Amino acid sequence: MSNKVILGLGGNVGNVQFTLKNCIQLIELKVGKVDVKSSLYQTKAWGVENQPDFINQVVVINTNLSAHECLSNFQDIEKQMGRIRKEKWHERTIDIDILFYNNDIIEEDNLKIPHPFIQDRNFVIYPLDEIVPNLIHPQLNKSMLELKNICKDKLMVIKL
């Protein structure tokens, strides 16, 4: 059974565009085929502002893995690519967030799907709106376009 997984990718350390390309290759190798990729988007850091700008991208993959297997593989990929978890929202080489897993709702300590901050972050909503504008958030019952129009995040998003 194939599962549709939508991921948020981002980073702000090193050559982020190169890192994102490598990350996508590892995702295809270890998790599943990437069907759609958004453009790259640059924003100021969200949460902790005194750090370099982030470059973000959203991808849609198909996988036979469970949500928990995906999470484990994504954490392994982050570690393999040099991610060191120091403090929340601080600079990093790569970040892989599961935004959606099918239309599932998962509320566990180590896994929350849909990602709880989607509606609060322009750097996630803009690329989602680019590639899946009509996708309905299963908890908020709003499309990505609707979420983009009501998002309170004021950080400028620059399409690269």
For this structure, is 83 an active site residue?
yes
Number of domains the chain is built from: 1
| Residue 155 burial (CB count, 10 A) | 15
Q: Exposed, middle or buried, 120 (CB in 10 Å: 0-12/13-18/19+)?
A: middle
Domain of residue 101: give its range: 3-159
Taking the model in full, what pTM does it have? 0.94
For this structure, is 95 an active site residue?
yes
pLDDT for the residue numbered 119: 96
For this structure, is 153 an active site residue?
no
> Which residue is associated with the tokens 């954490």?
75
Which pLDDT tens digit goes with each residue over 48-89?
Answer: 778 899 999 999 999 999 999 999 999 999 999 987 766 665
Phi, psi of 85 (to 5 degrees): -85, 105
CATH of the domain at 145: 3.30.70.560
| Residue 13 burial (CB count, 10 A) | 17
For residue 157 the two structure tokens come to: 């998003």
pLDDT for the residue numbered 89: 55
Does residue 114 have a cis bond before it (omega within 30 degrees)?
Answer: yes
Instruction: Work out the widest C-alpha separation in the chain, in whole angstroms.
Output: 44
For this structure, is 85 an active site residue?
no
pLDDT for the residue numbered 47: 72
Question: One of 53, 97, 129, 153 is an active-site residue; which one?
Answer: 97
Bridge partners of 97? 8
Which pLDDT tens digit goes with each residue over 100-123?
Answer: 999 999 999 999 999 999 999 999
Question: One of 35, 92, 121, 153 is an active-site residue; which one?
Answer: 92
Bridge partners of 132? none
DSSP-derived secondary structure for 37-63 = EPPPEEE--SSS-SSPPEEEEEEEEEE
